[in-house]
Amino acid sequence: MTPEENEKKSGGHRKRKEMPDLWMQCTSCNKLVYKPKFEEMQNVCPECNYHFEISSTERIDSLLDECTFEEHFTELYPLDPLDFVAVRSYEDRLKGAQEFTKLSDACVVGTGKMDGLPVVFGVSDSRFLRGSMGSVVGEKIRRGIDLARELSQPFIFVSGSGGGARMDEGVLSLMQMAKTSVALAELDRCGGLFISVLTNPTMGGCMASFAALGDVIFAEPGALIGFAGPTVIKETIKSEIPDGFQSSEFQLEHGFVDRIINRGELRSSLVQVMRLLGCDQAA
């Protein structure tokens, strides 16, 4: 897959039409927006507040204190345990995604500081096979959770996965839902804090496991959050889906997320909650 194809597929920045010089058109509201302002707002449209996807590196820069993030578990690389070959082979798709993102797989986990507070932090990267969870993603999250437990530090994970459990690793991906959830049960038993941040989109197997299990759940505005994809639901119920269905706002209204938070305020809100829960008083 060429980077262009990959970008198109992952939905990375597809909604942002580039224009020469300092202006660009937001593909959500179609208005012309001032590019430096858009960038200052971390890929958020200043006109309509649409939150465009950002990479794992951008997310780390946005949330963690400068130069404090140290990535862990970098030795883990995906395999192709099913010899999964369809229209294109999994091996091929993996290689393409690795070359394009320079990542080994679809998430990054490590340690760092947030306004001086030590945390174990993870983020999925939706440019890598739609942020889907296979064995490596599940294992990195599991190890991150266990590390947070051992260090008595909060675990913060920013999810973004349209793919859910990765089909190419079959039932092994499904079992990562179980793996991350049993690890969170253990963290919970030990009194550890997990804050889950949902970004556009968080669906399927990721949403039906770790992403839903935060002691506190934040969501960025306008994210698609749910279990079954809108297409599957439409086919099942044989009728149209209401506007705003499965959005962050929908989930807030139905009582499944604690708060919707703009990208620019995410870091301060995370810090506020951690301090109010006494994370700054830990040994």
Binding site for another protein (CB under 8 A): 74-79, 81-87, 134-136, 138-139, 142, 165-167, 169-179, 181-186, 188-189, 203-205, 207-213, 225-229, 232-233, 236-237, 241-242, 245-246, 254-256
For residue 112, the minimal CB distance to another protein (Å) is 20
Residue 45 or 211: the one with the smaller Cβ distance to another protein is 211
Closest C-alpha to 102, from 134, 79, 132, 125? 125
CA distance 118 to 109: 14
| Cα separations in angstroms, 31 against 43, 160, 275 | 15, 26, 39
For residue 279, the minimal CB distance to another protein (Å) is 21
Residue 225 or 266: the one with the smaller Cβ distance to another protein is 225
For residue 35, the minimal CB distance to another protein (Å) is 35
**Quick check: bond before 230 cis, omega within 30?**
no
Closest C-alpha to 78, from 129, 126, 123? 129
Phi (first) and psi of residue 46, to 5 degrees:
-70, -20
Which pairs count as long-range contacts for 249-257, CB under 8 Å and 24+ apart, including other chains? 249/221, 249/222, 250/225, 251/198, 251/219, 251/225, 251/226, 252/219, 256/212, 256/217, 256/225, 257/198, 257/217, 257/218, 257/219, 257/225
For residue 192, the minimal CB distance to another protein (Å) is 13
Residue 18 or 75: the one with the smaller Cβ distance to another protein is 75
Residue 24 or 203: the one with the smaller Cβ distance to another protein is 203
For residue 220, the minimal CB distance to another protein (Å) is 17
For residue 207, the minimal CB distance to another protein (Å) is 4
Residue 113 or 143: the one with the smaller Cβ distance to another protein is 143
DSSP assignment string, 107-133: EEEEEEEETTEEEEEEEE-TTTGGG-B
Q: Coil, strand or helix: which one is 33?
A: strand
Residue 66 or 254: the one with the smaller Cβ distance to another protein is 254
